[in-house]
Structure 1
Amino acid sequence: MALPLIRSLISSSLDLSPHFQKPISCYSVSLAFFSSSATPRSRSPLPLADHFIEKHNFPPEIAFKAASSLTTVKHPRKCDDIISFLKESGFSKAHIEEAVKRMPDLLSFSLEKTIKPKVKIFGDFGFSNNDVADILVRDPWIFTRSVDTRIVPSISYLKSVLGSDADVVKLLKSSPWFVAFDLQKTLMPNIEFLRSCGVSWSQIVSYVFNFPRFLLLKHESIRQYVKRLDDLGFDRNSNMFLVAIRTLSSMREETWEQKLELFRKLGFSQDDIMSTFRKAPQVFAVSERKICEITEFLHTRNNLGVSFIVSNPMVLGFSLERRLKPGY
């Protein structure tokens, strides 16, 4: 009884004869009934949403979101052509829906000038259809990037660093935003500088995968972190050198000074602090609360003092509840 009543109310509000009224889907009815802004002459996104639902079997929430963003699209054929091309290029239904969900405007782009060139260039580099779909869906804003000044140079630089197409694909699947950066001004100078400091190539490649944003920091910032380590007397030939740079990059100088003061309050001498930092720089990124709790636990429960932590600094990174208490 409710649905005929709703149809009657909508028909009356639009001043249309039931005999000439176009059938309304349940999705259109529900949205029109509860929308206070709908007027007889206003252009509603509902017909396009219905089109996405009926022709492409989009979930209602994605269909409505897309239709609400595509207010300049005059005919659904433009959207249909883009969706058809993506399907032909290896995009699954789930790929397409996720891309539209993340960037509804994608269906208003030029198929010939914007969509096709981006899909084609990844294929030209040897990426499989599924790889291309995975990458572009993770970051559909790649469709807005220039092929010549951003996508091609970025992929080329990454291949020169990682050494294989497979590794480039692996990286872009997890960090597709690499394409958004000018790698000639960020990644490449940073790598060249770190290599001049003695950092091994294998360690740099590992960091590209595990800490990708670190190597995209401003080049001058990387130089400043190295200078601070030099001032602290940190050995550039140490395997912990790159770890130390990243640790400094993860906190402000004020936070670093607070950590040093905390260790002093806990009974660490300056030599103790520097020895701990040289062995395990990453533990200085542990929260102050955790450092205090672990130090107190080791001292009160097991009579283990500062010397034990200096000899075994990684203990500050262990879980107190899951590892230290059961272990001791």
Structure 2
Amino acid sequence: MAAPLVRRSLTNLFPKNSSSLYKSHVFYTQNLSTISENQPIDAPTVSDFLMQKHNFSPEAASQVAAGLTSLKTLENSDSILSFLKESGFSSTQLERVVKYRPAFLSANLEKIIKPKIRIFQDLGFSADEISLIIPLVLHSSVNNRLIPSLSVLKNLLGTDLQVAKVLKVSAWFLVTDLEKSLVPNVEFLKSCGVSVNQIIKLMYIVPRVFLSKPENMKKFVEKADEMGVSRKSGMFIYAVRVVSSMTDESWEMKVKTFRSLGFSDNDISRVLRNAPMVFSVSENKIKKIVEVLVGTGKYDMRRIVNNPTSLMYSVEKRYLPRLRVLEVLEKRNLIKKWPCLGTFHLLSDSKFFKKFVAPYLDEVGEVYDGR
């Protein structure tokens, strides 16, 4: 079935009266090196090569071929794809790499591709992980960019394992001049009293903040200072993270949302000090959570202000299933009072089930879907 489908797809690329032209596009299977190097190979030939020789889908082959306007030989491309297969790349991973960066197929295998593949293999990366990173660093010099960047990261993180862990979160550390971004940003945060452990923790969570311009990092810290977050607090680094992810306009919009719900400026500052990640929650979600919780008649705004992390959970997956259970238990006089908001929103699903569902399974089993 696959062969007829491929033939039909290829046939659609050419006029019906061009059978001789079509035949000329498949002769690479006999001898790739016979293709002339004096002029670029046309897109149909490249597409056919990718489908027939390396099992690319018609869609992927067409997309890649369209991006290779100056390819003059298929022999090098064939060697590259064969090498990646030998290195453990699946067809899906090959397509991912080449679709993202079609120029990959015209790169120098020995000087550009192999050294980079070896670097990531030595760090313990899987073929799938390499397929996500290698297109980003295709044009990065091994000696002038990759090795210096890896050296900076290892000096900070200590081991290849930790370097690999950070790079799996973000490969952007390898395409940026770390001496102009990461190094001064880390030194500045250390001068603010932030521990190296906190800095490393943030690198795993939101690495790109460290690639900001040093002057921007200073602005993020100043903003966190203005909101009253102590530099000695464990929340300080998270406050910096939140501030770094927001424009002035989005910050003002978030503040207006809190005010419209009844938060005072002191309340807003306290939220940032105690639970800065709440500022990452969308305005619509915050409004919906407040509406649902206050709508129960059991939790008021003061309790929400005192438990700001309650604004970070899912209405559909956490709150509604639990509220249905508590409403049934109350109506049937199985509980005398509802749990406080802190307990209600922080209990894990398993603990909530054990405390409020399992003892009354016959009564509430049909209404609880939060296990």
TM-score (norm 2): 0.70
Partner of 2:268, secondary structure, is helix
Tell me the residue number matched to 2:58. Answer: 60
Tell me the residue number matched to 1:8. Answer: none
Tell me the residue number matched to 1:82. Answer: 80
Give me the whole-angstrom Cα distance separating, in 2, the residues matched to 1:79 and 1:146: 20
Q: How does 1:1-328 map to 2 (within 5 A)?
A: 26-33=8-15, 44-122=42-120, 126-128=122-124, 131=126, 134-328=129-323
Query: Which amino acid counterpart does residue 241 of structure 2 have in structure 1?
Result: R
After superposition, the Cα gap between the structure-2 partners of 1:304 and 1:58, relative to the gap in structure 1 and judged at 3 Å, is: closer
Range with bigger deviation, 200-209 or 262-271: 262-271
Deviation at 1:204, TM superposition (A): 1.9
Give me the whole-angstrom Cα distance separating, in 2, the residues matched to 1:258 and 1:133: 40
**Number of aligned residues:** 301
Give me the whole-angstrom Cα distance separating, in 1, the residues matched to 2:15 and 2:54: 24
Deviation at 1:290, TM superposition (A): 3.0
Kept in 2: contact 1:135–1:172 (CA 8 A): no
Deviation at 1:213, TM superposition (A): 1.7
Query: Which amino acid counterpart does residue 173 of structure 2 have in structure 1?
Result: F
Kept in 2: contact 1:136–1:142 (CA 8 A): no
Q: Deviations over 1:282-328 (max 9, x none)?
A: 21332333333333444442253333123211112222343334434
Q: Deviations over 1:233-276 (max 9, x none)?
A: 32111111111111222222233234334433433333333223
Give me the whole-angstrom Cα distance separating, in 2, the residues matched to 1:57 and 1:255: 46
Partner of 1:302, secondary structure, is coil
Query: Which amino acid counterpart does residue 233 of structure 2 have in structure 1?
Result: S
Kept in 2: contact 1:95–1:133 (CA 8 A): yes
Give me the whole-angstrom Cα distance separating, in 2, the residues matched to 1:262 and 1:62: 45
After superposition, the Cα gap between the structure-2 partners of 1:268 and 1:72, relative to the gap in structure 1 and judged at 3 Å, is: closer
Give me the whole-angstrom Cα distance separating, in 2, the residues matched to 1:291 and 1:47: 54
Partner of 1:259, secondary structure, is helix
Deviation at 1:144, TM superposition (A): 0.8
Partner of 2:123, secondary structure, is coil
Kept in 2: contact 1:247–1:281 (CA 8 A): yes
After superposition, the Cα gap between the structure-2 partners of 1:173 and 1:259, relative to the gap in structure 1 and judged at 3 Å, is: closer
Give me the whole-angstrom Cα distance separating, in 2, the residues matched to 1:74 and 1:316: 58
Range with bigger deviation, 152-161 or 130-139: 130-139
Deviation at 1:168, TM superposition (A): 2.1
Give me the whole-angstrom Cα distance separating, in 2, the residues matched to 1:55 and 1:239: 56
After superposition, the Cα gap between the structure-2 partners of 1:82 and 1:43, relative to the gap in structure 1 and judged at 3 Å, is: closer
Q: Percent identity?
A: 42
Query: Which amino acid counterpart does residue 276 of structure 1 have in structure 2?
Result: V
Kept in 2: contact 1:119–1:132 (CA 8 A): no
Q: Deviations over 1:25-81 (max 9, x none)?
A: 544322113899xx9999743333333333333333333333333343333222222
After superposition, the Cα gap between the structure-2 partners of 1:33 and 1:254, relative to the gap in structure 1 and judged at 3 Å, is: same
Range with bigger deviation, 298-307 or 234-243: 298-307
Give me the whole-angstrom Cα distance separating, in 2, the residues matched to 1:26 and 1:265: 61
After superposition, the Cα gap between the structure-2 partners of 1:87 and 1:318, relative to the gap in structure 1 and judged at 3 Å, is: closer
Deviation at 1:183, TM superposition (A): 1.4
Query: Which amino acid counterpart does residue 127 of structure 1 have in structure 2?
Result: L
Query: Which amino acid counterpart does residue 154 of structure 1 have in structure 2?
Result: S
Kept in 1: contact 2:185–2:217 (CA 8 A): yes
Range with bigger deviation, 316-325 or 156-165: 316-325
Query: Which amino acid counterpart does residue 305 of structure 1 have in structure 2?
Result: D
- Stretches of structure 2 that go unaligned for 5 or more consecutive residues are 1-5, 25-39, 324-371
Query: Which amino acid counterpart does residue 13 of structure 2 have in structure 1?
Result: L
Give me the whole-angstrom Cα distance separating, in 2, the residues matched to 1:257 and 1:56: 52
Query: Which amino acid counterpart does residue 216 of structure 1 have in structure 2?
Result: L
